[in-house]
Amino acid sequence: MEGIRDDHKRIFLPTADKVRPLGRTYLHDGSLWLAYSASGAEFEFTGTKCSITFIGDNMAVKGEEKHHARIGVYVNDELVVDGLIDDAEKTYCVLDSKSKEHAVVRVIKLSETTDSTVGIRQVCTAGSDIRSTTGKDLKIEFIGDSITCGYGVEDDLTSTYSTANENAAKAYAYLTAQAMNADYSLVSISGYGVVSGYTSDGVKNETGLIMPYYDKLGMSYGRFAGHISPAALKWDFSRFVPDIIVINLGTNDSSYCGPRPERCEEFRDGYVKLLEQVREYNPGAFMVCTLGIMGASLFPYLEEAVAAYKASTRDMRVTAMRFEEQSPEDGYAVDFHPSEVTHRKAAARLTRYLQELVQSEAFNQGI
C-alpha cells in the first residue's frame, strides 16, 4: 500500500511489500499479528520522524498486567522502545530527529505466546516510503520451552514470572541467530514438552505438549480481533524455510520422567515422533537436538531417539548437542531459569557448534 499523505506525514500498513516479517506472523484486516516469542517485523526508511501504532488483544484490555504483551523496538540496533501493550491501541514514537536519518527499524515481541498477542497496526513517518529489509542467507528455526522464551531472564529468584521480566531478545536462541547473522523463527512455549509438560506431582501433563502447536501460529490465552485464537490458524511452512532447526526440549519432560526408565523410554519414543513431524514440514533442514541448560538427565534418551530416528529413516541430517548446565556462580533468573550470563554462554556454545556444522560436508552436500 502506498503511503497516505496527511499533514506531511505518511501512513503505511504492515504489508509484505513494506515490512519484512520476523518469525511467524499473521496479517488480518491490515494489522500484522505476533504470537510466538521474537516474532515481529523490520523495515527501513529515510526521514525525520517515525511512530508505530500497536493494537492489543483481549488480554491488553481485560487481562492482568503480568500477561500484557511486551514489545521492543530497535532503531539501527539500538533499543528505543520497551513497552507493555495495556490498551486497545498504543502508539510509540521511535524516531524524532531534526535532520533526515536512514533508519532500520525492527519490532519484536519480547514476551511469549501463551500470555497474549499483539498487532502492528500502522507505521507513520515523515520521510520516504518504508520498505522491507533484505532477508539473511541463513535461516534458523528454534523449537523450545521457557528457556527459549527467555522466561524471567530480567529478574532473579526473589521475583515471580510476568511478561515484564521475560525477554526473548536476551535468550540464547535470539542471541545465536544474531551471532550467526541468520533470520530466525521461534516456536517456544513455557512449560511445554515432548510427552509431558511441566508437572509438580509427577502426573503426566498432556495439555503441555509442543507437537499439537508446531503447525500453528501460536498458543495463547489471548484472542485478537475479538475472537481469533492463534491455535486455530495453520502456519504456512513455505513462508519460512529453515536451513537449520534447533530443538531444545526435554527440560519439562524430566519433571514427569524422573528416574523411571519406562517413562524415560516413553520420552525417547515420543522424541522420535517429534523428529518425524518436524521433518515432514521441513524436508531440507538440518536438525540439531539440544538439552542440558537446566539439567541433562534425559540427554542419553535424546541421543537414543536421534540414533533410532536415523536408523529407521536413513535420514542423516540430524545430530545432538549437549549444553553445559547452568552454574550457581552465573546466577539464576525467576524460578531457577537461566540468567543473562547463562544465556550468553549457551549462545556462544551453540554458535560455535552451528558454525562448524555449516562448514561441514554433511551440511553442504546434504548427506
Domains and CATH numbers, the chain: 4-132 (2.60.120.260), 138-365 (3.40.50.1110)
- Between CA 186 and CA 173 the distance in angstroms is 8
Q: How many percent of the chain have pLDDT more than 70?
A: 97
Mean pLDDT across 322-338: 98
Grid coordinates representing 8 are: 506531511
SS3 163: helix
Compute how many other C-beta atoms are within 10 angstroms of the C-beta atom of residue 273.
Answer: 14
Judge whether 271 and 263 are in contact, CB under 8 Å. no
- Between CA 255 and CA 252 the distance in angstroms is 6
- Between CA 82 and CA 72 the distance in angstroms is 5
Q: How many CA atoms lie within 13 A of 39 on its CB side?
A: 25
Residue 150: closest CA among 309, 242, 36: 36
**pLDDT value of position 173:** 98
Q: Could you read off the pLDDT of 197-251 as tens digits, one per residue? A: 999 999 999 999 999 999 999 999 999 998 999 999 999 999 999 999 999 999 9
Q: Identify the helix (H) or strand (E) that includes residue 119.
A: strand 118-127
- Between CA 12 and CA 131 the distance in angstroms is 10
Q: What phi and psi values does residue 178 have, to the nearest 5 degrees? A: -65, -45
Band of pLDDT at residue 61, cut at 50, 70 and 90:
confident
Q: How many CA atoms lie within 13 A of 72 on its CB side?
A: 21
**pLDDT value of position 209:** 98
Answer whether residue 128 shows pLDDT above 80: yes
Average pLDDT, the chain: 95
**pLDDT value of position 127:** 84
Answer whether residue 349 shows pLDDT above 70: yes
**pLDDT value of position 304:** 98
Mean pLDDT across 115-141: 96
Answer whether residue 7 shows pLDDT above 80: no
Grid coordinates representing 160 are: 515471580
SS3 content of the chain, % helix, strand, coil (to 5): 30, 35, 40
Band of pLDDT at residue 9, cut at 50, 70 and 90:
confident
- Between CA 152 and CA 162 the distance in angstroms is 7
Mean pLDDT across 109-119: 97
Amino acid of residue 134: T
- Between CA 17 and CA 9 the distance in angstroms is 19
**pLDDT value of position 226:** 86
CA dihedral 82, 124, 114, 216 (to 10 degrees): -140
Long-range contacts of 22-28 (CB under 8 A, 24+ apart): 22/106, 22/107, 22/108, 22/183, 22/184, 22/185, 23/184, 23/185, 23/186, 23/240, 24/185, 24/187, 24/217, 24/218, 24/235, 24/239, 24/240, 26/217, 26/230, 26/233, 28/119, 28/224, 28/225, 28/228
Residue 91: closest CA among 132, 118, 122, 117: 122
Burial 44-78 (b: 16+ CB within 10 A, else e): bbebbbbbbbbbbbbbbeebeeebbbbbbbbbeee
Long-range contacts of 233-241 (CB under 8 A, 24+ apart): 233/26, 235/24, 237/281, 237/282, 239/21, 239/24, 240/23, 240/24, 240/139, 240/141, 240/183, 240/185, 241/139, 241/282, 241/284, 241/285
- List, in order, residues 6 or more apart from 44 with CB less than 8 Å away: 102, 103, 104, 105, 130, 131, 133
**pLDDT value of position 279:** 98
Q: How many percent of the chain have pLDDT more than 90?
A: 93
Answer whether residue 156 shows pLDDT above 90: yes
SS3 316: coil
Grid coordinates representing 37 are: 516469542
Residue carrying the nine cell digits 505438549 = 209
Compute how many other C-beta atoms are within 10 angstroms of the C-beta atom of residue 117.
Answer: 32
Q: What phi and psi values does residue 134 have, to the nearest 5 degrees? A: -85, 135
Band of pLDDT at residue 366, cut at 50, 70 and 90:
low
